[in-house]
């Protein structure tokens, strides 16, 4: 399967988690807690983490596409 150009943006169904996929083994997650967004950087070294990145890129349920604009807005509001 061919993956989209990177970075790719995804969200977890429900919208409380946004993802910016930078490589097949590296992504950033914005997690909404209340009105704040927390940033987590993840290096996918273990097989389950790498599988998760593959599922995000494929938009497998529960992952959905997210626009770069929405990611940028949430990223800017975490400050």
CA distance 56 to 63: 6
Q: Are 24 and 50 in contact (CB under 8 A)?
A: yes
Q: Given pLDDT bands bounded at 50, 70 and 90, which one contains residue 21?
A: very high
pLDDT over threshold 60, residue 1: no
pLDDT at 52 over 70: yes
Q: Looking at the domain assignment, is residue 43 inside a domain? A: yes
| Residue 57 belongs to some domain of the structure | yes
Give the domain extent around 65. 8-77
How many domains in the chain?
Answer: 1
Q: What is the pTM of this model?
A: 0.90
- What local confidence, expressed as pLDDT, does residue 41 receive? 96
Sign of the CA dihedral running 13, 17, 21, 26? negative
Domain membership of residue 2 (yes or no) is no
- The mean pLDDT value of the chain amounts to 92
Q: Please state the rounded mean pLDDT for residues 52-74.
A: 95
pLDDT at res. 15: 87
Residues 6 or more apart whose CB falls under 8 angstroms from that of 64 comprise 10, 11, 12, 13
- For residue 22, being part of any structural domain is answered with yes
- Considering the domain boundaries, does residue 3 fall inside one? no
Residue 67 and residue 65: Cα distance in Å, rounded?
7
């Amino acid at each position: 399967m061919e993956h989209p150009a990177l970075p790719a943006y995804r969200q977890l169904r429900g919208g409380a988690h946004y993802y910016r996929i930078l490589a097949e083994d590296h992504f950033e997650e914005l997690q909404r807690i209340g009105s704040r967004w927390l940033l987590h950087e993840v290096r996918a070294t273990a097989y389950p983490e790498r599988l998760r990145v593959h599922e995000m890129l494929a938009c497998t349920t529960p992952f959905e596409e997210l626009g770069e604009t929405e990611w940028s807005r949430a990223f800017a509001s975490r400050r």
